[in-house]
Chain A
Amino acid sequence: MKTLKTLAVFAACMSFGAGASAAAAELQLPKDLPPYGADKPVPVPKIDKHTLSNGMTVWIVADAEGAPKANFVLAVRGGSAHDPRAANGLSSILAGTIDEGTKSRSAIQIAQEQQSLGASLGAGAGEEGTTVSASGLGSNAGKILQLLGDIARNPTFPDAEVNLAKMNALQALKAAQAQPGYQAEVEFAKAVFGDHPYGTGEQTEASIMSVTPQSLRELHAKRFRPDRALLVVTGRVDAAEILRVAKETFGDWKAEGTPEAEIPAAPTAVPRKLVFVPRANSVQSSIRLGRPAFAAQDPQLYKADVAESILGGGFGGRLFQNLREDKGYTYGAYASFGADRNGGSFGAEADVRNEVTGAAITEFNRELQRMIDEPVGAAELERSKRYLAGVYLYRNQLRGAVASSLAGLWIDGRPPEDLGQYTERVKAVTAADVQGVARRYFSPQEQSLVVVGDPAVAEQLKAFGEFKTVAPN
């Protein structure tokens, strides 16, 4: 969400506490500890679904109570993965400049109108979808939707705004390149996805400079069309009134020309790559390991969610417990699957001090192998499922998160009902399912490894194979 065009550089700050829970044996719980109470039913969002005559999909989840706030996501198919490689950044610059002027509003008018509506509006490009989102005071819901509609349908991409956005994108790229995490992620994507668009999205000075107001206008005309668009509205809104405004705002929008083609499926297996990115004077090594996995519609996703939470979810995950709470190597170690419309990956990560770079990789491998060799115990499995169900409840307390989740499902090619059925599907996962996921995706010999760190740590990597040293991006 763009408010101040903040850079991720400054997001970090003080303190995530600590956490613990023994990785190996089951702990004896204190005898006086009261038990959990009875579970209350998980609320399932009631989605009011409509299709406008021009093919546009509209989903409304209206609440009678809760925060006096309305949330909107307008999603269209097509994102960064569709950018021509020489123009990487095109989709993200489109998202960054779509609210910098429309046929009837200047950039400053748009910014000021957001303030006066108590709204916050922004756009973003994912691999497979582009979204324009807004949230604001519920009493202004209709007006916020009209503003959103104007921005999505009528952006002008003024020359001056596009040029400024490009200049700032160049600086933002430089700022990102200074971060070890950025270097690690770029190399990780290349290692896992190879030549597939998910692996080749890295922006360069030249690719940013290739973007022009004209190329943005052409992309917008091609990508923003009602038959490939979804509007989700959630929060304290009047569903009938919102539908009326949605029809008024988008009803006369027409699809023109040929839509963007689907990108090919990403690989599900690749030869592992071992990559070292030297970063002089780095006081930590950023370690990423992983491999390609499955696309978002794959039903093994629920099994994978349970497996990832046991291995590397939150403070209770085995990696966190081992690398942080037992060894003190790192501030945090995690693992997760990521899945997009046409493919996905498994990955694990930690930033560790230089001396323990090799030792940390050994522990990653040990925990991966243990997931393969030993079925997870009943108590740990149950905790993991309850944790996932609780996180689901926590996230969906926020009606804005419900809107983004529904838009995400749509972009991924999944039915919206998947959201409400999440908890039940997670509950059905067994220890054998988890071990199946581990056997298929956790084999240490199949993980690509990316390490960004001081040149001196290269010595510690030799034990794991021959690393290819690549220059920083």
Chain B
Amino acid sequence: MADYLPHTSEEIATMLAFLGLDDLDDLFSSVPAALRLAGGLDLAPGEPEPDVFAHVAELARANAARELVCFAGAGAYDHEVPPVVRALAGRSEFVTAYTPYQPEVAQGVLQAVFEYQTMVARLAGLPVANASLYDGAGALVEAVNLGVGATGRQRVWVSAGIHPHWRRCLATFSEGSGHDLRMVPLEEGRTVWPDDTAAGDVPGVVVVGYPNYLGCIEDVAAARRVADAHGALLVVAADPVAAGLLRSAGEWGADVVVGEGQVFGTSLSFGGPYLGLFCCTLEQVRRLPGRLVGETVDVEGRRAYVTTLRAREQDIRREKATSNVCTNQTLMAVTAAVQLGWLGTSGLAEVALRCARGTRYLRESLGGLDGVVPLTGDVPVVRELALRTAVPARTVVERVATEGFLAGVALADLAGEEGDGSIGPDDAVHGLLVSVTERRTRAEIDGYVAALDKAVRS
């Protein structure tokens, strides 16, 4: 029987004798006999590695989606991940370490995270980024917690342009935290903030997407004015790739910027592990959730890195902590640092530009089609476009798949068949969210448009 346990029978006998025990079962004498599992676990016996690999490979082959050219986005994007990033991020020193509790032997991870924090902060236009959170939705939940803590007001205005899954997560966790969420609807793809507020409706936090989940570039300055009018913190959920082309959220006055960092070196991965990006102003740094790496010196004065402001964290503050995060997504943060190192100043700008070009090319190519129109009018977009299709979008996705393309994401799968404040019921059924990354060629886009045309005709 193969496994990864080094003990020989002789060694086990020696060790048991050292403990004064007769057999391995005696190790569990403190477990009440009545509770002991009789007959062992209800699982098959162990299998050799090659058999296990073959089994999982067979499951992998059953995922037809993998063969399709990807026009789906909605928070998970098909970007280029070069061999050098996979090779470096896959080094076992990064992969098989844990949280740097002993910084003297964890300078590799600590410095990589310090570099990651620097890059992410520059992207957001804010001075501080943490060492990562679980995913975009998780980062948004933490941002709202920070904002409520800072203002002392649990009323939160959330633009309906925030990804529906993220809003759903906010709602879930608000059951525990007691936050009072008000969804602010979109019109023509952009948030329309209320002019007046009733008593009890004064927000402590205002949340807007940039661009929002339908791809539209929001007026963040307007959101900032709304926040200022009520003394609220402004949380911006920003697309970090679009940031290569857009003014930073920090420049628009965001107090907290969150985002999904999967776009930097992590494969689509069926949704995880991904990377929650989190940045804030210096004013809020003591409420920052998760780990933070800071620079210091060692006893000999050499530059070194360590997790810092630890007094915020759950293992020290326990029930008074601002967040319960312990294990985060460090390996994805290291991966993002490598990917951003690979892209560099010119590469990030180029990727964003190419996404925007592809999206423009798709939009223009759709111009002559009868059954497909943009859902959000002429609102400017960067790399994502919501369409309205003549037949239900879920049907379109199934049909276009037979032509070799993943057509996008049916809005009904995100916002529900009844729609929500971002779109109405009819657009929910007929809405299709399409994304074009720098990996999509003109030939692929042409082929996709032809497939779409065919799908909406019948």
Instruction: Tell me whether A and B are bound partners.
Output: no
